[in-house]
A and B are shown apart, each in its own frame.
Chain A
């Protein structure tokens, strides 16, 4: 069945592309988890919030418009200007850094040396707060996000595969672009963590808070930095997902898909987040294609979790997770 095989190949490629987006969200988790031991449940909502803010700034929406209108009886919704995409992305980044600062200042600074479960609960609270806050700030309607990323079928690949295989592959330009961005992002992050002073300090904080304090590393600074980085990754993920499927609240649910990705790749590994994302994206598309129809379809909803469950049983630290160093 060469035809089946070719379709399968196309599904595989598309799965890989979808996996890149999972990987982007997972990356944000890994960053924060590595540096502060906090499992940030709010990462997905941060992606949503970033995307909402970006759309809001681009369209010149008045923040808190509904709130202002219902209090003062006014009818303002827009400033009436449009901000170019590049500038809007910069401004959104400023907002994400401010968010990182505020989260650290008002929440995690007061929870230093607390149990991980307490920090985790705090991030759940943060997730719900941020979801509601984004709603009040920018409104809850589904928005279209277009920052000028290329979209639609990639003609070159379509043409080339048609020439070779006699069947043109449908690969979305946006997915290709997302892949390139993700690769660049990961490369930059790894270089930053391995070879710069602040990156080294970040890894030191991840290993031992107290020791890091004792050599004069400021935990507050490192945490704000890490949350800002995570905010940046969330922004990139938000732009990609938002462009693909519109900015809406279901966006925050992709955070849940990042969980199995992390279990596969390991919570502490940047490459793990990427490989895990690709495997899950690829796996769920292939599974749906090959077996899905035989068992009633909609396997994409649960495939990732079952795979993660298997990993938890047989390799709990994930594919690339740090081995726990234990000297005897």
Chain B
């Protein structure tokens, strides 16, 4: 079992939430999950399953996109957080690294990192120490500290985005699709850093990822979303062995390859059952 880093304490509790965009589009139809302290929890599923929406509902970035949590509750350390501002959540220790990096293109790498410390009233000394800590995890960023973030590579931008989040001294990091658009080698590197941060510094991660294979290798626990619902959950090791997950998400099957048409009809029937 990969349960090593997990403790019993639950940090984040999402209870049966429903999210509606623009007052009409129902995106999440009752998602529940819990994130234990010190663990890496993965949120899996295909395009449009609702992974990003779930993360944004937690970090409260939904409101600026005209989305709204209409039912259910989100609690962090037992406290109801769904009416707070994103900046309040950052102060509480929950920060989101958005899908597609979202670096500040015209700011330098170092300035990008410094914006992460915006909500902290820390002294210059403390912030410099944290900068060095980030540079230790991402030596590449130190070399490029004076370049404009817009001119750095995709992998470097992902590092900037994660480093920027670290600068807020978070407890929980909501990491959205870190593998997006990166070469497999870089994906491996990024996930290894996530693992190190989790094991050595004790950061808690909630990770949304399409790349089920990588995510299940590094995570402790997984939830699988489909069309705005959690259809399956369990320890990552169990999910990896589950025949359905193998077939639908990992592309492996005991019966050899299937024609795409068969898979589709099988999937549909199965989805209603689960």
Contacts and interface: CB of A to CB of B under 8 A. Distances in A.
B179 to A, nearest CB: 18
A212 B115 contact: yes
B164 A215 contact: yes
Interface stretch (A150-158, A163-171, A197-205, A247-255): A197-205
Size bin of chain A's contact surface: 20 to 34
Interface string A187-222: 000000000010011011011111111111111000
A159 interface: no
A215 B90 contact: yes
A286 to B, nearest CB: 35
A200 B61 contact: no
Contacts, number: 84
Contacts of A211: 98, 102-104
B192 to A, nearest CB: 24
Contacts of A117: none
A112 interface: yes
Question: Dominant SS at the A interface?
Answer: helix
B105 A207 contact: yes
Contact of A327 (B114, B115, B118, B150): B150
Given A112-B64, A325-B148, A327-B151, A210 B102 contact: yes
Interface string B59-70: 101001110000
B242 interface: no
B85 A210 contact: no
A207 B104 contact: yes
Given A215-B116, A215-B165, A218-B87, A208 B104 contact: yes
B106 A203 contact: yes
A215 B94 CA distance: 10
A219 B63 CA distance: 12
Given A201-B118, A209-B64, A216 B86 contact: yes
Contacts of A218: 85, 87
Nearest to B176: A214
B151 A325 contact: yes
